[in-house]
Amino acid sequence: MRSSYQKGLHILATLHVKDDQLMTDCERWLSHTALLLSKHELTEVGRTFHVFPNNSFTAAFCLKESHICIHTWPEFSQVSMDIYVCNLMEDNTNKAKRIYHDLVEFFNASIVEETEINR
């Protein structure tokens, strides 16, 4: 039997990005995302990243409320994002959506593929 409790919103997306510099500046993305977490009162518990030889990067924020992950492919003009924000103490659905839309705007991107999963 499935409970009516919604555990959170999980957003998976592939974006098309025209500006390679946005996909090769890991520090800028990390700083921007940290500000978003603060703005939306989400709690960072850790972060990690790796910058590849072509300056593309993969990065992840582990949150008390779950995670935000990103992978950039400037050679394909694409970014993949994985955002999951749980609802343990409050409904964070709108926070997940606002963070997602802000990151799409950060990259000045068009959406290639987008999936929302209500857990």
60 vs 77: CA distance, rounded Å = 20
46 vs 57: CA distance, rounded Å = 17
Check residue 2 and give its pLDDT. Answer: 53
Check residue 90 and give its pLDDT. Answer: 85
| Backbone φ and ψ of 80, nearest 5° | -110, 135
CATH class of domain segment(s) 8-118 = alpha beta
Q: For the chain, which ranges sit under pLDDT 50? A: 1
Delimit the domains of the chain by residue range: 8-118
Check residue 119 and give its pLDDT. Answer: 86
Write the CA distances from 73 to 92, 111, 114, integer angstroms. 29, 15, 17
Check residue 1 and give its pLDDT. Answer: 45
Strand ranges for 1-119 from DSSP E: 8-16, 44-51, 57-63, 66-73, 78-86, 110-118
Check residue 52 and give its pLDDT. Answer: 98
Output the pTM of the full model.
0.92
Check residue 3 and give its pLDDT. Answer: 61
